[in-house]
Structure 1
Amino acid sequence: MTATPPPLLAPTFLDVDGSRIAVRHAAGAAPGIVWLGGYKSDMLGTKAQTLADWAAREDRAFLRHDYSGHGESGGVFADGTISTWLSQSLAVFRHFAKGSQILVGSSMGAWIALRMVRELRKTGDASVVGLVLLAPAPDFTSDLIEPVLTEAQKRDLAEKGFFAEPSDYSAEPYIYTRALIEDGRENRVMTGPIDTHCPVHILQGLADADVPSSHALKLAALLPADDVTLSLIPDGDHRLSRPQDLDMLVRAVGDMAKRGE
């Protein structure tokens, strides 16, 4: 018999540089789990909620938030950049996370996770003891968007400061701003070896039409080989939200948490 998940409580809010950031935090055992969502996704998505329900059953701490312009947080989506969302993620982490933590980053969230580890280490914070990265999209602005910009998109960026693209996941188009792309260049992580100081497990679908598997392979090659697991899912798409994908996610996070105990 499957246990009924706990009722979803209203978020708490943390002011970060004038943005009202929505946060949900459940106390529990360490290492805690920190969810970092993707571009234009929110903390109530299928993967985040699946992990929240699992963490509740395991009595494990779980922390998630919405970036500005996403979900229940304030702010305008088009005003966001990697630096902005990184700053907010670090503020939430430092305010709510206690003890050792596993960062779980989906798509753009994997980029945020890698940048968080770098910034935390600069201050001597070694609380991140593992990373689980799903369909990771670090450096997606410079590596995946800029090389394929059309002349019309380049013109829109120059004249309007943004271009819009239809989304497979939302009725609203994706907005990519000049500020996002320029800031992305300053936040690149795949320019050389990446020392996370902790084990990393990458989950990548081979049928991902948004972030090619070659990107995950390149990332894995930049990480310390003895601490990296790369799981390729032959028919997995970018969402990795099918029941079998969610089962694999929970197993990966559970195994990483046991390693960090």
Structure 2
Amino acid sequence: MTATGNGETPEEFLTVGEGAQARPIAMRLTPPAAGNALAHFVWLGGYRSDMTGTKAAELAALAARLGTGCVRFDYSGHGASGGAFSDGTISRWLEEALAVIEHARAAIGTRRMVLVGSSMGGWIALRAVRALAKRGDAAVTGLLLIAPAPDFTSELIEPNLTEAERAALAEHGFFEEPTPYGPDPNVYTLKLIEDGRQNRVLDGVIETGCPVHILQGMADPDVPHAHAVRLMEHLSGDDVVLTMIRDGDHRLSRPQDIARMLEAAETLARGEGVA
């Protein structure tokens, strides 16, 4: 596997699921340089984001500079992947994340890895660590969570539903909400919300078995910074650092935010804990 002319690794696809549930998942896998022993990065994007976004691309560029591996992919219904967005749930997207990780083991030799989860991707990262641990797999050596939104369906959406939104869920199985991040509204389905209740992580102690670094903007309009503090309290058994960025928004994509992300990612990849 080699890089393309613009430095990008080629896009490839992995089929996840069987029969009517099969969907092609788009991936970009950056192999490590020969002899490089650093942990690989696995990018887990947010709701309606894709692997070509600023943070994902900057993480891949960091991996190239360090000579380590990097795994990026689009959830079904996102970016270049197939499948309907309306079919998406945390369980479904988690299944895809685990399938891509397993594929990367054979494709580029991924074993030790740092999961980098943005917004909803932070929730997927926490669920993935738990799922891998149940398999006896301790390959995750670090977590970098950027404006993490674990349990956002039950903690941030459900309590704030309007009567009109509740009626839309009951009658149509979804509701729409305007977003400042693009012309199309966010769509939240009843299926997503019901599945979210089955994937809660803020209901007890979260044991990741690895260092965790959280980056959170205090001017985040989507995920209150108190949510990150609550997450940290549930990570009571781990080596955790929470960096609050006073003027940071939800995207945390400004140059200074990217610099913080890359510094934290490199520290975790080198196995130096959190700083």
Task: Assess if the C-alpha contact under 8 Å between 2:206 and 2:237 holds in 1.
Answer: no
**Paired position in structure 2 for 1:23:** 27
Letter in 2 for 1:16: V
* Selected match of 2:230 from 218, 232, 238: 218
Q: Is residue 196 of structure 1 aligned with residue 208 of structure 2?
A: yes
Deviation at 1:99, TM superposition (A): 1.6
What secondary structure, in the 3-state scheme, does the structure 2 residue paired with 1:245 have?
helix
Q: Is residue 82 of structure 1 aligned with residue 86 of structure 2?
A: no
Letter in 2 for 1:171: P
Q: Is residue 43 of structure 1 aligned with residue 51 of structure 2?
A: yes
Task: Assess if the C-alpha contact under 8 Å between 1:6 and 1:53 holds in 2.
Answer: no
What secondary structure, in the 3-state scheme, does the structure 2 residue paired with 1:259 have?
coil
Over residues 191-237 of structure 1, what are the superposed CA-to-partner deviations in whole Å (9 max), with x where a residue is unaligned?
A: 01100010100000000000000000000011035500000000000
Task: Assess if the C-alpha contact under 8 Å between 1:130 and 1:260 holds in 2.
Answer: no
The Cα RMSD (Å) is 1.3
Letter in 1 for 2:235: L
Deviation at 1:10, TM superposition (A): 3.3
Normalization by structure 2: what TM-score?
Answer: 0.91
Unmatched segments (≥5 aa) in structure 1: none
Deviation at 1:258, TM superposition (A): 1.4
Deviation at 1:78, TM superposition (A): 1.1
CA distance in 2, matches of 1:53, 1:119: 28
* Selected match of 1:147 from 131, 136, 159: 159
**Paired position in structure 2 for 1:65:** 73
Q: Is residue 122 of structure 1 aligned with residue 130 of structure 2?
A: no
Residue 226 and residue 175 in structure 1: after superposition, are their counterparts in 2 closer, same or farther (change >3 A)? closer
What secondary structure, in the 3-state scheme, does the structure 1 residue paired with 2:270 have?
helix
Over residues 18-40 of structure 1, what are the superposed CA-to-partner deviations in whole Å (9 max), with x where a residue is unaligned?
A: 11000100111330000000000
Normalization by structure 1: what TM-score?
Answer: 0.96
CA distance in 2, matches of 1:109, 1:260: 23
| Matched length | 257
Percent sequence identity over aligned pairs: 56
CA distance in 2, matches of 1:9, 1:221: 38
* Selected match of 2:147 from 135, 144, 157: 135
Runs of at least 4 residues off by over 6 Å: none
Unmatched segments (≥5 aa) in structure 2: none
